[in-house]
Amino acid sequence: MIEARGLSKRYGTKLAVDDVSFTIKSGQVTGFLGPNGAGKSTSMRLMLGLDRPTAGTVTINGSRYSELPAPMHEVGALLDAKGVHPGRSARSHLRALAATHRIPERRVHEVLEQTGLSEVAHKRVGGFSLGMGQRLGIAAALLGDPRVLILDEPVNGLDPDGVLWVRQLVRHLASEGRTVLLSSHLMSEMAQTADHVIVLGRGRVVADAPIAEFIAAGKQARVLVRSPEAARLAATLMAGPESPAALEPAGDDAFTVAGLTAAEVGDLAAAQGIALHELSPVAASLEDAYLELTRTELEYAAA
């Protein structure tokens, strides 16, 4: 579990993190979202004791990072995958980390297997691709078999296989009861990976909810309708002052409708003898909900 209470971080005149409080629970994947500069990386650095808060506290399983007796056994992190000496091999890098943190040597072998790096373990890290570097960063995070994982943009630069691998890995880690905090700008990927989302905006928490709830609170589900008589159908759906329908154009002969179900649209069209060439529900997405939230945030900021 990770708990932030009244956490703030100021850099000069910039309040990068502004009085945030949240609880990141174990046994699930929590997605950390927010526009560039929202304070995600700063919050992660505060969790890991890499920066001191200006105010407030953040604890890992009840203790501040600096009070953890064996930090690598408690929390593993991927922040910047480039922090490895290029002349070292992946294995020697992990062995050195293990030796300095009193982690048994067998863990090196285990995490190399787990991250698919066994075959390249003897190669110089300087020659690694971006994806291999990310895997090595994740291997280092897993080395102490920690109960908490903090991964900043772990799928950055990975190919589709790598992205899928990270998704399956973090889902597996959460299913073992670990706490997993993950940041990413890839909404479609986050939607498939996270159970819960925390959204930061200008240093503050602007949403903290189970992912399904967050998506449902965003843009309403819509129905895509295509008809050779699109204009007449639109007029039919909008008829009367009480009509709940809200229409948006969607190319030639098509529009989307919010406020009515596909069945209601179909029935109204049939009653007027209007042919339909397409009638398909469009599920609300994490991306829609996120864009909607950050748009209202921006409008609020402008006002």
Binding site for ligand ATP (CB under 6 A): 11, 14, 16, 34, 36-42
Mode of pairing for the β-strands spanning 204-210 and 246-249 = unpaired
| CA distances (Å), origin 101, targets 67, 74, 82, 105, 143 | 15, 12, 20, 11, 10
| Nearer to ligand ATP among residue 16 and residue 72 (C-beta) | 16
| Nearer to ligand ATP among residue 187 and residue 238 (C-beta) | 187
CB of 17 to ligand ATP, least distance (A): 7
- Paired tokens of 266: 């179909």
| Nearer to ligand ATP among residue 14 and residue 82 (C-beta) | 14
- Of 219, 163, 221, which is closest to residue 192 (Cα–Cα)? 163
CB of 47 to ligand ATP, least distance (A): 12
Q: Alpha-carbon distance 149 to 151, whole Å?
A: 6
CB of 166 to ligand ATP, least distance (A): 17
Mode of pairing for the β-strands spanning 222-226 and 254-258 = antiparallel
CB of 299 to ligand ATP, least distance (A): 20
Would the CA dihedral through 91, 94, 100, 101 be positive or negative?
negative
Q: What amino acid occupies position 21? A: S
| Nearer to ligand ATP among residue 34 and residue 133 (C-beta) | 34
Lay out the sheet containing 278-282: strands in order across.
246-249, 254-258, 222-226, 278-282
CB of 14 to ligand ATP, least distance (A): 5
Which residues on adjacent β-strands are paired with residue 122?
none
| Nearer to ligand ATP among residue 35 and residue 266 (C-beta) | 35
| Residue listed under structure tokens 């772990």 | 154
Which class for 301: exposed (0-12), middle (13-18), buried (19 or more C-beta within 10 A)?
Answer: exposed
| Nearer to ligand ATP among residue 38 and residue 262 (C-beta) | 38
DSSP per-residue string spanning 50-64: SS--SEEEEEETTB-
CB of 171 to ligand ATP, least distance (A): 23
CB of 224 to ligand ATP, least distance (A): 32
| Nearer to ligand ATP among residue 12 and residue 273 (C-beta) | 12
Residue 213: Cβ within 10 Å count: 13
| Nearer to ligand ATP among residue 152 and residue 288 (C-beta) | 152
CB of 64 to ligand ATP, least distance (A): 19
